[in-house]
Amino acid sequence: MFAPPRIWWKPLGRLERTWLIIAFVWCIFLTAMMPLWYFMGRQNVPTETYRVTPAQFAAITEEFAKEHQVGTERGIPVVEPPPGDVYLYGRQFMWYPILQLKKDQTYRLHLSSLDVGHGFSLQPGNLNFQVMPGYDYVVTVTPTEAGEYSVVCNEFCSLGHHVMVGKLIVTE
């Protein structure tokens, strides 16, 4: 057996120094990209959030659904509101109500949960974030393509999580 040298530190070789410099520059670049992506990217989390009790949000949403209901689907109201504020809540294991929005109109989508944390994922679009009880998240959306979109819970919320699917309809 050979004993390790008493002086373990030796100056870096050319190749080690090169890779250390590349790694350091890459770290600086990635660190700089975080604030740049926040200001320049188009996938930022909602910046408008309010405190609200689940009971208050449920009452607001159910009143909204009664006022703008145009039909039902599987016992869930289908609502067609004018551009402006629209409300949607998640609870085990459903999204309520089904929203029917107009293409190229701007809406302020208010989202909340009534019981546990839920993941809000609009498919096949690219809107995705977590919804927690006690908060009203406001997301400004302008649908650009007509069609039916699925609202999927992508945060495990209990044993019936796999059936928690809602719908958003965009019409011409």
Of the given ranges (38-42, 147-151, 155-159), which has the lowest mean pLDDT? Answer: 38-42
**Three-class SS state of 32:** helix
Q: Order the strands of the 135-141 sheet from edge to edge.
A: 48-51, 135-141, 107-113, 84-91, 94-96
pTM of the model: 0.74
Mean pLDDT in residue range 92-116: 93
- pLDDT for residue 39 is more than 90: no
121 and 127 Cβ atoms separated by less than 8 Å = yes
Whether omega for the bond prior to residue 120 falls within 30 degrees of 0, making it cis, is: no
* Cα 161 to Cα 49, 109, 119, distances in angstroms: 25, 23, 10
Asked whether 88 and 95 are in contact (CB, 8 A), the reply is yes
Checking if the pLDDT of 42 tops 80, the result is no
- Per-residue pLDDT for 45 more than 80? no
Rounded distance between C-alpha atoms, residue 51 and residue 44, angstroms: 20
What pLDDT, on the 0 to 100 scale, is given for residue 1? Answer: 67
Query: Which token pair is 27?
Result: 């770290």
In angstroms, rounded to a whole number, what is the distance separating the alpha carbons of residues 151 and 98? 10
Instruction: Please give the average per-residue pLDDT across 27-56, as a whole number.
Output: 84
Q: What pLDDT digit, counting tens, does each position of 5-27 carry?
A: 677 677 888 999 999 999 999 99
User: How confident is residue 168, by pLDDT bands cut at 50, 70 and 90?
Assistant: very high
